[in-house]
A and B are shown apart, each in its own frame.
Chain A
Amino acid sequence: MIIFWAYISAIGLISIGIYGLLMKRHAFKLIISLGLISTGVNLLLISIGYIIGGTAPIYPKNLNISAPMVDPLPQALVLTAIVIETAILAAALSLAILMHREYGTLDVRVIWRRLR
């Protein structure tokens, strides 16, 4: 049952992120929406690899495992994705700081109007 809710909340997070990207016009909220989307994708990948009743893919010292291990490949993939998400967020935040210095606001609609 818990895996069902993990999957529902993963696509729910992605949907909320898409709504925020379409609707919000504060640059910082757009960046938060990007973060929500990537968190949702990570949760979806992890829940694809999950097995009900499975253990983490780490052997105990005596190498006896009682339950089947979950798939290690999505977990390694998500480790990579987290790093790249952080890199994107850091670059986007520095761009937002530059935007605020340049235009005095973070409202993308005001900036767009001023550019035209």
Chain B
Amino acid sequence: MIIRRIFAALFAIFFFISAYVLIADIGFGNNKMDDLVGKYYIENTIKDTTALNVVSTVVVNYRGLDTLGEVTVLFVASVSVGVLMARFKGSKLWNVSTTPIHITAGRILFPLIWIFGAYIFVHRHLTPGGWFPGGAVIASGVLLLMLAFKDYLPSSKLITFSESISGSLYVLVGLIGLAIGGYFLYDFVYRTYGIGTIGTLISGGFIPIVYTIIGVKDGVELSGILHHLSRDDTE
């Protein structure tokens, strides 16, 4: 046992030292943007999409197919959690007693939490954020409801329905781009029709549309994971 501990500690220390020696030459903090692809993204994002946030342009426009794969990974994880927990038919894991504080806070805070989550992913082309934080905030609202009201559970059918609808809508937006512009996930809103003024909500091409779709999908999927993980058969 003590030998195992010593070997594990030695291995961790060895990894630390070798990583320190090997990675130190990267030049942390230096401006090395001159020969990187990030320079292109920063210089051309306004011209290409009218979005102010460069990261959202990279995620949705320049690397849109990667985002489709990422959404697929989250979908597969949600499905696998559902399959693994499918043998438990009971309803609740939390047998904590809810207090009036829970219920009152749930009633007042729940709509505000959902509005904030929607704000995060709808304004993605202007402010920091992302579809994943927005969806996580929405799922935390669902978690608050599950903790506050003992007999509340998000409906399984609704979760599956909105999951598949929003997933298909994302592919549909990509296919519309294919039909109009000639390649998958083409930014038809700005490139073809020229809709949007810089710095307002209606800008950034199809970034707000795509972010709203996958934000909703992500919130629903995380709520589904919460729902599946809270299953129990000890009742």
Query: Which residues of chain A have a CB within 8 Å of any CB of chain B?
Result: 3-4, 6-8, 11-12, 14-16, 18-19, 22-23, 44, 47-52, 54, 56-61, 63, 68-69, 71-73, 75-76, 79-80, 82-84, 86-88, 90-91, 93-95, 97-98
Q: Judging by beta carbons under 8 Å apart, are B128 and A12 in contact?
A: no
Of the residues B33, B76, B199, B225, contact of A71 by C-beta under 8 Å: B33
Query: Which of A11, A48, A94 is close to B84, meaning CB atoms less than 8 Å apart?
Result: A94
Given A12-B16, A87-B76, decide whether A72 and B46 contact each other with a Cβ distance below 8 A.
Answer: no
CB contacts (< 8 Å) of B80 on chain A: these are 91, 94
Nearest 4 A-B pairs (CB), nearest first? A87-B77, A57-B54, A22-B8, A19-B12
Instruction: List 5 A-B residue pairs with CB atoms under 8 Å apart, sorted by A's residue number.
Output: A15-B12, A22-B11, A59-B52, A72-B57, A94-B80
Across the interface, do A15 and B229 meet the contact criterion of CB distance under 8 Å?
A: no
**A80 touching B70 by the CB < 8 A rule?**
yes
Of chain A, the residue at the smallest CB distance from B79 is A91
Partner of B28, one of A7, A15, A63: A7
Apart from A58-B128, A61-B198, A61-B199: 14 A-B pairs, beta carbons within 8 A: A15-B19, A19-B9, A23-B4, A48-B26, A51-B29, A58-B54, A59-B53, A69-B42, A71-B33, A76-B55, A76-B58, A83-B73, A83-B132, A87-B78
- Please tell me if the beta carbons of B37 and A73 are within 8 angstroms of each other in the complex: yes
Chain B residues with CB below 8 A from A86, complex form: 74, 77, 132, 222
Identify the interface centre among B12, B13, B59, B78: most chain A CB within 10 Å of its CB: B12
- Say if the beta carbon of B111 comes within 8 Å of chain A: no
SS class, residues of chain A in contact with chain B: helix
A55 to B225, CA, bound (A): 36
Q: Give the size of the chain B interface in residues (CB under 8 angstroms).
A: 58
Query: CB-CB < 8 A to B20: which residues of A?
Result: 8, 11
**Which residues 98-155 of B sit at the A interface, judged by CB distance below 8 A?**
126-128, 130, 132
- Residues 79-98 of chain B: 1 if any A CB is under 8 Å from the residue's CB, otherwise 0? 01100110000000000000
